[in-house]
Each structure stands twice: as C-alpha cells, then as structure tokens.
Amino acid sequence: MKTPAIALLLALSLQAQSGDPRDAHWIRLSTSDFDLYTCSGEKQGRDLLRTFEQIRGFFEKATPVPLLEDFPIRVVAFASPDQFAYYSPNGSVVAYFAPGSRTDYIVMQDPTRESYPFGIHEYMHLLIRHSGLRVPLWLNEGWADVYSTLRPVHGGVAVGDLIPLRIKTLDTTPWLSLDDLTAITTESKLASEGQRVGIFYAESWALVHMLFLSPEYSDNFPKFLSALNRGVPAAQAFQSAWGRSEQQVSEDLQNYQRRRKVTGRIFEAALGKSDQAVEVSKVEPFDVRLMLADLTVSLNRRTEAAREYESLARLRPDDMQVAESLGFAALSIKEYDEARQNFEKAFAAGDNNALMCLQLALLEGRAHQGEKVIAALNRALQSKPDYFEAQFEMGLFRLALRDYQGAIDMLLSIKKVASVRAAAVFSSLAYAYFEIGDLDKARADALTAKQWAHNSAQAASEDKLIAMIDARAKSAFAPHPGEKTERVNATVKAVECRPDGHRLVLDIGGKDISLDLPEITAIEVAHSGREKDLNLTCGPQNSEHVVVDYAPSTVMKAGPAGVVRRIEY
C-alpha cells in the first residue's frame, strides 16, 4: 500500500505529465549536433539523443544526401500525447519536422523507443531540406518512410523492412495512377482527402522502396534523383534513368508489391556508439516558456506566440534572448524593419549567436548600413569561424566594396560547400580573380562554376564571363595578376580612333583624361536598367554619364592615363 506522501508525489508527477507543458520540469541535453529539450526525464532523453547521434553518423556515411547543418538541430520530446497536443499541428501525427527562421525542429510526442521510427522519418525530411535537393512530395515522404525502418544488424544497418500499415493500405485501397501520385504537392487537394491520404503515403513508400532498393532500379536511382532535382518531370526522369515509361514503372511497382519479397539493404556503415560528450542542464521556467513560444512560431500560431513574448518581455525587459526571438519571429513573416530593430537590440546587449549576427548583417545590407554589415559578419565569424553563410556573405560584401583580394581570401577559407551553392562560390571567385587580372584562375573557376550550374541561365552567365576573360587575355592590353583599378565618375567626351588603337576621352569635373579602349568584348559593360545601349562610335560624344574602372598606366610618360576595364552607364 502506498503511503500518502508517495501517493501525493505520484499524483503531482502525473499532473505535470498531462498538464500544460509550460509547467513541466524540462531538461536540456546538448551535443555539437543536437539540442534536445525534454520533460520526460534524463535517461530517456540520453537514449533518444544517443540514437539521433548514431543515426546522424549513419546518414553521414551511407546516403547520397550531404549533411550540412551549421547549427545544432533542436529536438523537443514531450512526456505524453496530452502534452504534445498543445504543440501539434494536427491530431493525426505523433512527430513532425518544422523548419524555422531561427532553428529547425524535430518534435516528438514522447522519447520512447516506439516513437524512434517517427523521429527518424522526420530527421530524413530535415536532411533533404538541408541538402538543397529539390524533390517532389511523394519522394520526400516515401524516402523518409523507407529510412524510418533502419535497425542495427550484424555487419551494418538494415534498411527497408516492410511497414505493416503501408502494406494493409496498399491491399485494401484503390491505388492512384503514377501520374496522379507524382503530381501531388503540399497544396494539392488530393493529398488531404480522407482515405486518399493513406494511399498517397503507402504508394509513395512502395515506389521509393522499389526505385531505391530493388536490384532492377537501385543502380540508377542517383541519376533519377539528379533529374528530379533539376526539375525534370517524373515521367521523363523514369525514361532517362531507366529507359522505362511511366506505365512500365507502374506495372513493375504492382508486381513488386504483389510478390511481397521486397528487397532491403544492409549498409556497412554501422550505427555504432556515439562518443559525443553530452551537456545536461535544467531549463528554467522562463527559458521553457521562451523555447515553447519559439516552437509556436514555427507552427504559424503567431498571435499566441506574440502574447507569450510580450509577457516574457514584461518579466525581463532587457533580456537579449527575448529580443532575438522577437527578431526571428518578425523575420519569419518578412517584417524586416521590426526584425532589424530587435536584432540590433540583442547585438548591442552582446548577443553572439552566429545565425542572428548573419541575419542582422543581411538586414543592415538592405538598409545600406555598410559598417554595421561588417561588424555583424565579423561577430558571426568570431563566434563560428567555419560558418559557411557568414563566410560567403563576407566574400560577397568584399566584392561589392571592390576589395577583390579580401573577397578571394574569404571565399578560399571556406572548407565545405554544399553543391547547391558551389556555382555561386566559384562564380564569385572567378569574378574576383578577373578583376585583379589573374585570368588563368578566373577562367578555371568560371568553368567550375559552369559545371555546378543548376540551370541554363547560370551556365549562360558563366559563358559570358569566360568569353570576356578570353577576349581580355587576347587583347593588346591584357592585364597581369595583381592589377588594381581606379574608378571615376565622368561624362564621355569623345572616342579617338587612331591607327595605334582607340582611346576614350572622359571629362572629369572639367578635366580631360584619355584611356586606351580595348575591343568592347574585353570590357565589362554594366547598365542601370535603361533600354538604351551605350554607343561608342568614333568622334565627339553626347556627354553620356558613365562610371569607368580603369587600370592606371604604370610608366610615367605622355599618353593615355590607363586602360578601360569596366563601363557602367
């Protein structure tokens, strides 16, 4: 028989588990990859965190999806379905992935082992999003389902066990045509029609299972994935990857499921043991409320979140974490001025969150506050030296300031580049080298950028740069590495056409200067959006206002002051 004291403690514990989660006792367990908040207890929290670390290690070794998380992923594990219901997007899920402007969330109703497959499913959604892959909804959901079954076996990890619920749905519900299945998006009405939801998920799982794991299809799955990422329709991607029509793939899928001998795979990258050090700390009631308010923002319940932020701000008017949260909440709905004001308040209070500093830098750039951009990016990089986005933005800002060597140094310091950003990084490097006259490096990086181009417009842009590089290299006024240019605002006075080469005569505040004028293909020409073309014919000109970059002459002698490199009009 329980004593009254024990009975009271049990009653209080049950009340904490089933009541408002803001009143529960929360702990935070942290590694470099995950921040886990749970009100279920330390042991279950440690087990769940260890599992996520192991799964992350597996995905890092065994999948074609790169892991490029710059910040720890936030996992929130409630103690019960009742608590989870307060922060659930609907009543039909037991876990979900919620991307946010501040952090990405994996949210689970509890940290029990029975919930692990749902957590793995949501983690796969996160990986796909972080990878930059653009995949249709059916592939995103089906792939996450396939990986949700992973389990350790002798020699590695097994992936591809049958999911009884999916099998039952496939057996009892009319299938969608492959054309209908692959056309469904998050906005499609079909994806939210009662029974059709079940067959959509079941058929998506079955199709991905066949394409990803079956011997007949698995070898060319990466080719298929690449085609979808480029925006190729599924029917065309089936044909290009496997030489099979949509109808043939559909027939193969029916037979694949009818046999019930679906193929799993053993990956040699074992789960192993996580050796990550775990920091455990109690979460104070104020911080619990702030964390849950942030989660509410990710669910688009902004009015509710705003009330909670206001309440917390009254409790601690100068708390930089509240200001930071308010900034990210405003940023999520593109209230840029409000976001900037809150981030500036947090920054002034000493906040060194690298993501916040980066977002502040971008907002200061929108407001044309150059010095503040540099200050914010510097603090971001002090806090996290290998932060790709901050390095990249600093490189772009150096380019805009015409500090080309500084831009090169920053961009070369980047150690890991996602494929989705490779074209932009190498294109920026190519342009910086072009501007300092190192044409060999400029051309090499422009070719690399073209190889990583995601569409024809990006490839055409690199072709244009390569053509300009080649024209400048062949010019009589070819640069040498290390060249520095000067910029002047002027009006075009005349073009002198001479046997020994053309010259551009500029009027700079009443003073004339003469510059060697190479072939127009060797000059970078930019314009402010006007439809009129710049027409540099021989003879007097009509006083067109221009901004000219030129390489000054290095030999003191009478003649031109330098060589035209760029004209903006």
Residue that the structure tokens 């299945």 belong to: 181
Report the 3 state secondary structure along 256-273.
HHHHCCCCCEEECCCCCC
Euclidean distance between CA atoms 162 and 117, whole angstroms: 13
Q: Which of 127-136, 262-271, 334-343, 498-507 has the highest mean pLDDT?
A: 334-343
Compute the average pLDDT of residues 175-204. 83
Return the H-helix or E-strand segment holding 85.
helix 81-85
Q: Would you say residue 466 has pLDDT above 70? A: yes
For the beta carbon of residue 93, count every other beta carbon within 10 angstroms: 14
| 499, 476 Cβ separation under 8 angstroms | no
Q: For residue range 308-332, what is the model confidence (pLDDT) as tens digits?
A: 999 999 999 989 999 999 999 999 9
| 319, 289 Cβ separation under 8 angstroms | no
Crossing angle, helix 404-412 and helix 388-400, to 10 degrees? 170
pLDDT score for 447:
97
Q: Would you say residue 556 has pLDDT above 50? A: no
- When the pLDDT of each residue in the chain is averaged and rounded to a whole number, the result is 88
Provide the whole-model pTM: 0.81
Q: Would you say residue 358 has pLDDT above 70? A: yes
Q: Would you say residue 156 has pLDDT above 50? A: yes
Euclidean distance between CA atoms 503 and 487, whole angstroms: 17
Compute the average pLDDT of residues 515-523. 93
CA distances from 441 to 391, 425, 437, 469, 482 (A): 20, 14, 9, 10, 12
Decide the pairing of beta strands 562-568 and 524-526: parallel
Q: What is the DSSP letter of 323?
A: H
Percent of the chain with pLDDT over 70: 89
pLDDT score for 417:
85
Euclidean distance between CA atoms 138 and 127, whole angstroms: 16
Euclidean distance between CA atoms 326 and 22, whole angstroms: 19
